[in-house]
């Protein structure tokens, strides 16, 4: 899970062995690495740990950058995770804000992107795959359901999305036992 903030790439390692270059295990629940493309240097960022109920073995999260923060949502460890975690890249701290509204069901392997001040999420997998669209207003931190129209893409997971201009593009997917190479935009 990676995002770009202030010219650096932030990578969030929250699953598996995060000590590939040493025999030491991490003291952090989610390791945060930065990559500086100007110097081609990787660094691990010392951060405060997440709240105690958070596991380091969470896969399939969604992450976006907004301002100087990264927002991580949902995922799966031994059970579904349905929380928003915010990483402040200036203070190097984690918080778990309250996020009221029409909170989506937890899911894994979804896509997300930021348009304006909204983190849009699409698709993913809970007990079944989904093609629903929701957004989290990153200023008010409230969830909203998006009533869509037109020909919607099929239910999907393991896909990607990108914001280009004012549109969200969903690309590729795993669909009912096969891989799709279709693409959709929200026009």
Residue by residue, pLDDT tens for the chain (187 residues) are 899 999 999 998 765 454 444 444 444 457 889 999 999 999 998 876 665 545 556 776 788 999 999 998 877 777 667 788 899 999 888 888 999 998 888 787 788 899 999 999 887 777 676 778 889 999 999 999 999 888 777 666 667 788 999 998 877 655 555 555 555 555 5
In sequence order, what are the residues at sequence separation of 6 or more whose Cβ sits closer than 8 angstroms to the Cβ of residue 8?
34, 35, 36, 37
Q: Is residue 54 exposed (0-12), middle (13-18) or buried (19+ Cβ within 10 Å)?
A: middle
Would you say the pTM of this structure is higher than 0.85? no
134 φ, ψ (degrees, to nearest 5): -135, 165
**Cα separation, 125 vs 179, whole angstroms:** 15
């Amino acid at each position: 899970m990676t995002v770009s903030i202030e010219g650096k790439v932030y990578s969030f390692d929250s699953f598996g062995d995060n000590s590939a270059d040493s025999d030491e295990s991490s003291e952090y629940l989610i390791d945060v690495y930065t990559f500086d493309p100007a110097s081609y240097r990787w660094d691990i960022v010392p951060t405060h740990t997440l709240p105690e109920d958070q596991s380091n073995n969470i896969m399939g999260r969604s992450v976006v950058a907004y301002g100087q923060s990264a927002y991580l949502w949902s995922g799966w460890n031994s059970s579904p995770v349905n929380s928003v975690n915010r990483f402040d890249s200036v203070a190097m701290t984690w918080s778990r804000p309250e996020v009221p509204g029409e909170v989506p069901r937890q899911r894994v392997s979804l896509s997300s992107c930021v348009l304006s001040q909204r983190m849009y999420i699409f698709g993913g997998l809970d007990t079944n795959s989904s093609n629903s669209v929701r957004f989290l207003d990153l200023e008010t931190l409230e969830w909203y359901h998006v009533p869509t129209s037109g020909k919607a893409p099929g239910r999907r997971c393991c896909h990607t999305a990108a914001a280009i201009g004012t549109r969200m593009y969903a690309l590729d997917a795993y669909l009912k036992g096969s891989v799709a190479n279709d693409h959709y935009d929200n026009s």
